[in-house]
Structure 1
């Protein structure tokens, strides 16, 4: 399920996600992340990239992680999460959540 929400992320020294908070629940990463680079959906933004800086602004490094909730809270989800680092702003984005029960928990 596509989420696209900014989330605070705590990283290892190497820059991989270690913990993140989503909807008032802290999640701990429990497996080595799979890392790849995807393209930002630039057509959804009105911002233009400065000449010569398009690649950096268009590419998003993504970490797919398995994570478990570390705190109690509404809509606790155990599952697989895609976290992306927006290098233009330094913000982390939760791009998606993959779990059989996530839609029921989020939209019940």
Structure 2
């Protein structure tokens, strides 16, 4: 597995579930049901202070595990992506072994 952080464009359903993504100039289609979970951030080390009334995104990261195929064909590749609540930006945080071998 490779852990890193890199921007990625993500197209979602109206419910917010990822459908497609564009990464490194290539288009990938989600090929299996995505899995979503939340992870606790080290907000006390990353933020100078917590603003009153600011909760979502401060304490937890929203993480999605996606199995994707390049333009809907080829082998399945697994990525973990995170959405920043404040900005709506998406980042790839982990590319699993199958992705690195096939890239």
TM-score (norm 2): 0.78
Which segments of 5 or more consecutive residues in structure 2 lack a partner in the other structure?
none
Deviations 1:41-72 (A, max 9, x none): 5477466431342553232111101001118x
Residues 9-24 of structure 1 aligned to structure 2 (within 5 Å):
9-24=10-25
* Closer/same/farther in 2, CA of residues 48 and 8 from structure 1, 3 Å limit: farther
TM-score, scaled to structure 1:
0.75
Question: Tell me, which stretches of 5 or more residues in structure 1 are unaligned?
Answer: none
Name the CA shift for 1:46/1:103 in 2 (closer, same or farther; >3 Å).
farther
Which has the larger displacement, 58-67 or 15-24?
58-67
Q: Deviations over 1:49-104 (max 9, x none)?
A: 31342553232111101001118xxxx98410111110011111111111246068
Count of residues paired in the alignment: 101
Which is strand-richer, 1 or 2?
2
